Amino acid sequence: MPEDFSKAINGITISLHQGDITRENAEAIVNAANSSLMGGGGVDGAIHRAAGPALKEECKQIKAMQGPCAPGNAVITGGGNLKAQYVIHTVRPIWRGGVTNENQILSNAYRNSLQLAVENQIASVAFPSISTGAYGYPLAEAAAVAMAAVKAFIIQIDQGAALKQVRFVLFDDFTYQAYKEALAKL
Ligand code: ADP
Protein backbone atom coordinates (compact mmCIF):
# COMPACT_ATOMS: atom_id res chain seq x y z
CA MET A 1 0.00 0.00 0.00
CA PRO A 2 1.45 3.42 -0.92
CA GLU A 3 2.50 5.93 1.70
CA ASP A 4 0.14 8.83 2.26
CA PHE A 5 0.96 11.85 0.10
CA SER A 6 0.07 15.40 1.04
CA LYS A 7 0.44 19.08 0.24
CA ALA A 8 -0.48 22.15 2.31
CA ILE A 9 -2.11 25.18 0.73
CA ASN A 10 -3.13 28.23 2.73
CA GLY A 11 -2.72 26.31 6.01
CA ILE A 12 -4.95 23.43 4.89
CA THR A 13 -3.51 19.99 4.21
CA ILE A 14 -4.72 18.02 1.21
CA SER A 15 -3.77 14.37 1.69
CA LEU A 16 -4.23 11.09 -0.13
CA HIS A 17 -4.82 7.77 1.54
CA GLN A 18 -5.56 4.37 0.05
CA GLY A 19 -8.38 2.59 1.84
CA ASP A 20 -12.05 2.27 2.67
CA ILE A 21 -13.83 5.57 3.35
CA THR A 22 -16.38 3.88 5.64
CA ARG A 23 -13.54 3.35 8.15
CA GLU A 24 -12.27 6.91 7.94
CA ASN A 25 -12.06 8.94 11.12
CA ALA A 26 -12.35 12.38 9.52
CA GLU A 27 -15.09 14.49 11.08
CA ALA A 28 -17.09 14.29 7.84
CA ILE A 29 -16.97 11.88 4.93
CA VAL A 30 -18.45 12.74 1.56
CA ASN A 31 -20.83 10.34 -0.14
CA ALA A 32 -21.04 10.10 -3.94
CA ALA A 33 -24.85 10.17 -3.88
CA ASN A 34 -27.54 10.36 -6.53
CA SER A 35 -30.50 12.75 -6.71
CA SER A 36 -32.75 10.37 -4.77
CA LEU A 37 -30.38 10.44 -1.75
CA MET A 38 -31.66 6.92 -1.07
CA GLY A 39 -28.39 5.05 -1.53
CA GLY A 40 -27.17 2.95 -4.43
CA GLY A 41 -24.19 0.78 -5.37
CA GLY A 42 -20.46 1.31 -4.97
CA VAL A 43 -19.24 3.73 -2.35
CA ASP A 44 -22.79 5.06 -1.79
CA GLY A 45 -24.05 1.58 -0.87
CA ALA A 46 -21.00 0.92 1.31
CA ILE A 47 -21.52 4.16 3.26
CA HIS A 48 -25.25 3.47 3.79
CA ARG A 49 -24.55 -0.11 4.94
CA ALA A 50 -21.84 0.97 7.36
CA ALA A 51 -23.83 3.93 8.71
CA GLY A 52 -27.03 1.95 9.29
CA PRO A 53 -30.70 2.93 8.77
CA ALA A 54 -30.44 6.33 10.50
CA LEU A 55 -28.67 7.70 7.44
CA LYS A 56 -31.44 6.78 5.01
CA GLU A 57 -34.03 8.10 7.45
CA GLU A 58 -32.31 11.49 7.63
CA CYS A 59 -31.90 11.57 3.84
CA LYS A 60 -35.62 10.77 3.47
CA GLN A 61 -36.52 13.71 5.68
CA ILE A 62 -34.28 16.07 3.73
CA LYS A 63 -35.78 14.85 0.46
CA ALA A 64 -39.30 15.30 1.82
CA MET A 65 -38.48 18.91 2.68
CA GLN A 66 -36.33 19.88 -0.32
CA GLY A 67 -37.24 17.42 -3.08
CA PRO A 68 -34.56 15.62 -5.08
CA CYS A 69 -31.07 17.06 -4.81
CA ALA A 70 -29.69 18.52 -8.07
CA PRO A 71 -26.38 17.30 -9.52
CA GLY A 72 -23.48 19.24 -8.02
CA ASN A 73 -25.41 20.14 -4.87
CA ALA A 74 -24.79 18.67 -1.41
CA VAL A 75 -26.67 18.05 1.84
CA ILE A 76 -25.40 17.06 5.28
CA THR A 77 -26.58 14.42 7.76
CA GLY A 78 -25.22 12.79 10.89
CA GLY A 79 -22.90 9.83 10.50
CA GLY A 80 -25.06 7.09 12.04
CA ASN A 81 -22.81 4.17 13.06
CA LEU A 82 -19.78 5.55 11.23
CA LYS A 83 -16.74 6.95 13.03
CA ALA A 84 -17.34 10.15 11.08
CA GLN A 85 -19.71 12.52 12.80
CA TYR A 86 -21.23 13.74 9.54
CA VAL A 87 -21.89 12.53 6.03
CA ILE A 88 -22.01 15.13 3.27
CA HIS A 89 -24.03 13.69 0.37
CA THR A 90 -23.21 15.25 -2.95
CA VAL A 91 -24.95 14.38 -6.20
CA ARG A 92 -22.33 13.45 -8.74
CA PRO A 93 -22.42 13.71 -12.52
CA ILE A 94 -22.79 10.74 -14.85
CA TRP A 95 -20.08 10.86 -17.54
CA ARG A 96 -21.71 11.25 -20.96
CA GLY A 97 -18.62 11.92 -23.02
CA GLY A 98 -17.96 15.36 -21.55
CA VAL A 99 -20.75 17.15 -23.40
CA THR A 100 -23.22 17.63 -20.53
CA ASN A 101 -21.22 19.94 -18.32
CA GLU A 102 -19.81 17.05 -16.30
CA ASN A 103 -16.67 18.94 -15.28
CA GLN A 104 -18.64 21.89 -13.92
CA ILE A 105 -21.02 19.59 -12.03
CA LEU A 106 -18.12 17.60 -10.57
CA SER A 107 -16.33 20.78 -9.57
CA ASN A 108 -19.55 22.09 -7.96
CA ALA A 109 -19.91 18.81 -6.05
CA TYR A 110 -16.49 19.32 -4.44
CA ARG A 111 -17.05 23.03 -3.81
CA ASN A 112 -20.52 22.65 -2.31
CA SER A 113 -19.34 19.78 -0.09
CA LEU A 114 -16.48 21.90 1.24
CA GLN A 115 -18.84 24.84 1.72
CA LEU A 116 -21.13 22.67 3.87
CA ALA A 117 -18.10 21.51 5.86
CA VAL A 118 -17.14 25.12 6.56
CA GLU A 119 -20.73 26.12 7.45
CA ASN A 120 -20.79 23.29 10.01
CA GLN A 121 -17.37 24.15 11.54
CA ILE A 122 -15.94 20.82 10.41
CA ALA A 123 -12.14 20.48 10.73
CA SER A 124 -11.52 17.44 8.52
CA VAL A 125 -13.37 16.10 5.51
CA ALA A 126 -12.68 12.97 3.43
CA PHE A 127 -13.74 12.46 -0.19
CA PRO A 128 -13.90 9.29 -2.29
CA SER A 129 -13.09 9.44 -5.99
CA ILE A 130 -16.46 10.85 -7.08
CA SER A 131 -17.93 9.59 -10.41
CA THR A 132 -14.95 7.47 -11.52
CA GLY A 133 -16.54 4.06 -10.85
CA ALA A 134 -19.98 3.16 -12.16
CA TYR A 135 -20.56 6.73 -13.38
CA GLY A 136 -17.65 6.41 -15.79
CA TYR A 137 -15.78 9.74 -15.44
CA PRO A 138 -12.26 9.34 -16.89
CA LEU A 139 -9.98 8.99 -13.88
CA ALA A 140 -7.17 11.41 -14.72
CA GLU A 141 -9.67 14.13 -15.68
CA ALA A 142 -11.75 13.60 -12.55
CA ALA A 143 -8.64 13.75 -10.35
CA ALA A 144 -7.56 17.03 -12.00
CA VAL A 145 -11.06 18.53 -11.55
CA ALA A 146 -11.12 17.41 -7.90
CA MET A 147 -7.76 18.98 -7.09
CA ALA A 148 -8.50 22.21 -8.95
CA ALA A 149 -11.85 22.56 -7.16
CA VAL A 150 -10.32 21.91 -3.73
CA LYS A 151 -7.50 24.37 -4.38
CA ALA A 152 -9.87 27.08 -5.67
CA PHE A 153 -11.95 26.66 -2.53
CA ILE A 154 -9.14 26.69 0.00
CA ILE A 155 -7.22 29.61 -1.42
CA GLN A 156 -10.23 31.85 -0.78
CA ILE A 157 -11.26 30.35 2.57
CA ASP A 158 -11.83 32.61 5.54
CA GLN A 159 -8.82 32.42 7.87
CA GLY A 160 -11.14 31.72 10.80
CA ALA A 161 -12.60 28.57 9.20
CA ALA A 162 -12.29 25.35 11.23
CA LEU A 163 -11.39 23.33 8.13
CA LYS A 164 -7.76 22.15 8.29
CA GLN A 165 -7.69 18.82 6.46
CA VAL A 166 -9.09 17.67 3.13
CA ARG A 167 -8.46 13.96 2.57
CA PHE A 168 -9.02 11.72 -0.40
CA VAL A 169 -9.63 8.08 0.51
CA LEU A 170 -9.00 6.06 -2.63
CA PHE A 171 -10.02 2.44 -2.85
CA ASP A 172 -7.41 1.03 -5.21
CA ASP A 173 -3.83 1.73 -6.19
CA PHE A 174 -4.72 2.80 -9.73
CA THR A 175 -7.03 5.52 -8.41
CA TYR A 176 -4.52 6.52 -5.72
CA GLN A 177 -1.79 7.00 -8.36
CA ALA A 178 -4.05 9.17 -10.54
CA TYR A 179 -4.83 11.47 -7.60
CA LYS A 180 -1.17 11.54 -6.61
CA GLU A 181 -0.26 12.78 -10.07
CA ALA A 182 -2.98 15.44 -9.97
CA LEU A 183 -1.95 16.62 -6.49
CA ALA A 184 1.73 16.70 -7.45
CA LYS A 185 0.88 19.00 -10.39
CA LEU A 186 -1.16 21.36 -8.27
P1 ADP B 1 -19.51 6.62 -9.02
O2 ADP B 1 -20.84 6.13 -9.51
O3 ADP B 1 -19.51 7.99 -8.45
O4 ADP B 1 -18.48 6.40 -10.06
P5 ADP B 1 -18.61 4.32 -7.46
O6 ADP B 1 -18.95 4.01 -6.06
O7 ADP B 1 -18.97 3.34 -8.52
O8 ADP B 1 -19.25 5.75 -7.71
O9 ADP B 1 -17.06 4.59 -7.58
C10 ADP B 1 -16.42 5.76 -7.13
C11 ADP B 1 -15.08 5.39 -6.53
O12 ADP B 1 -15.31 4.94 -5.20
C13 ADP B 1 -14.34 4.26 -7.25
O14 ADP B 1 -12.96 4.61 -7.30
C15 ADP B 1 -14.54 3.07 -6.31
O16 ADP B 1 -13.46 2.16 -6.39
C17 ADP B 1 -14.53 3.78 -4.97
N18 ADP B 1 -15.07 3.06 -3.82
C19 ADP B 1 -15.97 2.06 -3.76
N20 ADP B 1 -16.16 1.68 -2.47
C21 ADP B 1 -15.37 2.48 -1.71
C22 ADP B 1 -15.11 2.60 -0.31
N23 ADP B 1 -15.71 1.84 0.60
N24 ADP B 1 -14.21 3.55 0.10
C25 ADP B 1 -13.59 4.36 -0.78
N26 ADP B 1 -13.80 4.30 -2.11
C27 ADP B 1 -14.68 3.37 -2.57
| Residues facing residue 167 across a β-bridge | 15, 126
Beta-sheet strand order (sheet of 28-33): 5-9, 12-18, 165-170, 124-127, 28-33, 86-91, 74-78
- Calculate mean pLDDT across residues 71-98: 98
Catalytic residue annotation:
44
Residue 106 is part of a domain; what is its CATH number?
3.40.220.10
Ligand 1 neighbour 92 (Cβ under 6 A): yes
Domain extent for 65: 5-184
Rounded to two decimals, what is the model's pTM? 0.98
Q: Higher pLDDT residue, 2 or 56?
A: 56
Helices (H), the chain: 42-51, 53-66, 102-119, 139-155, 173-185
**Please, which pLDDT band fits residue 2 given cuts at 50, 70 and 90?**
confident
Phi-psi region of 81 (alpha: psi -120 to 50; beta: other; left: phi over 0): alpha
Ligand 1 neighbour 88 (Cβ under 6 A): no
SS3 (DSSP) at 60: helix
Query: pLDDT tens for residues 131-145?
Result: 999 999 999 999 999
- Measured in Å, residue 176 CA sits from the centre of ligand 1 at 12
Ligand 1 neighbour 130 (Cβ under 6 A): yes
Domain count, the chain: 1
